[in-house]
Structure 1
Amino acid sequence: MIELIKKLPKAELHLHIEGSLEPELMFKLAKKNQIDIPYKDIDDVRRAYNFTNLQTFLDIYYAGANVLITKDDFYELTWEYILKCVEDNVIHTEIFFDPQTHTARGVAFETVLSGIKEALSDANAQFGITSCIIMCFLRHLSQDDAFATLEEALPFKDDIIGVGLDSSEIGNPPSKFKDVFKKAKEEGFKLVAHAGEEADFSYIYEALDVLGISRIDHGVQSINSPELMQRLKEEQIPLTVCPNSNIELKVFDHYQEHNIKQLLDFGLNVSVNSDDPAYFKGYLNQNFINICENLPLTEKDVIKLVKNSFNSSFISEALKQAYLKRVDLAVAQ
């Protein structure tokens, strides 16, 4: 099974670029930019990666992001992730970035985006990896703050395919951002949102019915509503599930308890993703390996999960078909 996982070309739809900041790069950039970070050394950072919930992770995530200052920093961050894509046979990636995390520190929107975009452009030229960029609003901040960020993004509409919603979920329901998502849709952005990770399935309903999103990030709490499960199955709304993240943030205590196999067996359109891989102990292949070693997933299940990710992506139908043929070819070989 591990050989199959490594061999299959894959897409990743739920990846926070700031969450791919490895401790080594964090220290390198902290030194270069003369930023104080609350860790003595790399081992000290890794010891801090022992989370009890989403908030304990976010505290470290935002502290780490402070070292990102220049366009070159964002380029290097993105390029390091691209090298992991090459290693894991990820041929298409749709990455999130959190502009508010940086603009609040005085880093210009354009600085962040241009560094990410150049690295992705080079990834396509050098490795043939295709990509999309999705801008996320931080849900612990106000809708007014999100509107200001949307305004900053408008000159770069050609570079940003969609908007999302991330950060502290509980107490910040999707409905809080109803108006800014309406405006984003009018501006032509595709809509996604984190929902039903820690908060209950009502957040998934809100993301679908109030925000009008086309893809749910996480969504594992949907299993607690038979009606919602049926709807997700009938409408084939994608759920971008992140197994390592769910374990590290204590959504499930053990991989054996993870419900991705149940969601898949029910007929839901689920895919596997790595979320914040530097913090959650593994990139895309490791997420696949962890669930395969702990759940009764078959080779057919793994192939289905991989195909779901391409089918749920924001690429053209022609490119989807080309990528799905590559999956079939890898299986045949």
Structure 2
Amino acid sequence: MAAPLDLDQLQTFIMIADTGSFTRAAEEVHRTQSAVSMQMRRLEERIGKALFEKDGRTNKLTEEGERLLSYARRMIHLNRETLAAFDDRRLEGTIRIGTPDDYADRFLPEIMARFSRSNPRVELTVICEPTFNLVEHIKRGHLDLALVTHDDAKGQSEVVRREPLLWVSSANHATHEQEILPLAFGRPTCIWRRAACDVLDEMNREYRILFTSWSATVITAAVLSGLAISVLPECALRPGMRVLGEADGFGTLPECKIGIMRGHTARADIVEAIARHISESLDNISVPAAEETGTFDFAAMAALRGRRLKPSHILPGW
């Protein structure tokens, strides 16, 4: 029977991957650099593969290292979850979190499941509103934590995930070919709406905003019915949508940055715990796709993302 992997080695491996440096990783795990190097040699011997390669002054993961990283994060998280399940001092109380409904639909099931397993005595109160509203709730002390769309101009959140922001239309309609482009967007405070209008203005493309709503369900319905096009982050794509790219006459949009905002709360321990779970959950959530259904324009997707989408990115139910 093969010996199990060493969790300390995996923790150090993750830290090296995150910092790109054996030296900084050694500081984080409170070991000497030589001890860290020895740990990695033993881990490579145990795996039987090279995990790192030099890239200038940094240490870059090999393809095998990238494969191991996903498993390592899950193993470390499961270890924490197991210890928390038997900890009589584990967290308890109530935490109020907020997120836009398009993020809630995609991310909350994974986040809530992971957090609740580790912290069964914590009650989660969740509200779904646009980022603009959530920022105000945080400022007024109505929320302990919010998952929001990060605004570079305001720098109000800690970025935990980046995704392409994409032009989307119905796969069954030629809505994007209309002379005056019909659009469905969030309210005027929506960052994506402003970005899309800026791109269209630069293109001198005529458009009119036909639907305005803070509900992702309404925006999605307008797109899928062929009444309008919109912009969505990759995580919000749905079967029946077509991604529009430069070949369709649409300029590149800025990337979508998803961030965490913390409120002023007496339960900072719970807030930090859920923030960590959110960050780890978003690291492990794959890119949604529907390659099997043929409903996305994958040539446009590949051009926008600079790589070929593979079947491994397909999620059950998409």
TM-score interval w.r.t. the shorter chain?
under 0.3
Q: Please, what TM-score do these two structures have when normalized by structure 2?
A: 0.25
Q: Which has the higher contact order (CA 8 A, sep 6+)?
A: 1
Bigger radius of gyration: 2
Q: Please, what TM-score do these two structures have when normalized by structure 1?
A: 0.24
